[in-house]
């Protein structure tokens, strides 16, 4: 079985190259999918948006997602205090930690080797679905649970929810901006 590894000259040329190592065994040096990506200032800026958006999601996990007002005062629940009501019973804050951490990781990997920030669109899309789930839960079974306590007045989405939404927007802008920056940097790739 041949071992594939990275060689700087092969990734620049964009072709698979057959080389002979010290032992005389031939190796295939494959073109990486990140080859041809450049470290332009605009690409770095958009990759920072992906990192910042992921960090916002991670921080938002520990801020109040749902707040409620009762006769005796107000009460809040963070992502680490809310659990999924059905099977499996997991703390839903872990989901946002994984999504935010993934976005930070893709942005940091893009800083090392351009071509990874585009993957930030995946955690952004999953986080958008997750935000919809939280909002619909507040108006459904979660809203029913917190309204059972005496003196309940009103419930609303807290700062953590809105910070997660802002982080999702930053990741989306960063991931799309990286793709646009690559197309602007290489105008010869446009198809007429």
Q: In what order do the strands lie in the sheet with 64-70?
A: 73-78, 64-70, 154-157
Domain 36-189 sits in CATH at 1.20.140
What's this model's pTM, rounded to 2 decimal places? 0.74
The residues near 53 (Cβ < 8 Å, ≥ 6 apart) are 103, 120, 124, 166, 167, 168, 169, 170, 171, 172, 173, 174
Write down the pLDDT at residue 2.
Answer: 56
Write the pLDDT tens digit of every residue in 117-164. 889 999 999 999 999 999 998 888 888 888 888 888 888 999 999 999
Which pLDDT band, with edges at 50, 70 and 90, does 5 fall under? low
Q: Where in the chain is the domain with CATH 1.20.140?
A: 36-189
Write the pLDDT tens digit of every residue in 82-115. 888 777 888 999 999 999 999 999 999 988 888 8
Q: State the Cα angle at 124 between 180 and 36, rounded to 5°.
A: 35
Write the pLDDT tens digit of every residue in 42-51. 888 999 999 9
């Amino acid at each position: 079985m041949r071992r594939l590894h990275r060689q700087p000259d092969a990734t620049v040329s964009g072709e698979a190259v057959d080389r002979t190592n010290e032992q005389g065994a031939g190796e295939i040096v494959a073109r990486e999918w990140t080859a041809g990506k450049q470290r332009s200032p605009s690409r770095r800026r958009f990759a920072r948006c992906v990192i910042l958006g992921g960090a916002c999601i991670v921080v938002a996990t520990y801020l109040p997602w749902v707040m409620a007002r009762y006769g005796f005062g107000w009460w809040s629940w963070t992502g680490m205090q809310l659990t999924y009501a059905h099977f499996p019973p997991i703390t839903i804050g872990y989901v946002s930690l994984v999504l935010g951490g993934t976005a930070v990781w893709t942005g940091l990997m893009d800083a090392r080797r351009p071509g990874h920030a585009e993957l930030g669109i995946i955690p952004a899309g999953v986080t958008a679905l997750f935000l919809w789930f939280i909002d619909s839960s507040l108006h459904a079974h979660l809203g029913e649970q917190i309204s059972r306590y005496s003196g309940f007045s009103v419930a609303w989405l807290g700062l953590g929810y809105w910070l997660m939404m802002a982080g999702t927007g930053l990741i989306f802008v960063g991931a799309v901006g990286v793709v646009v920056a690559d197309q602007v940097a290489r105008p010869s790739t446009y198809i007429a």
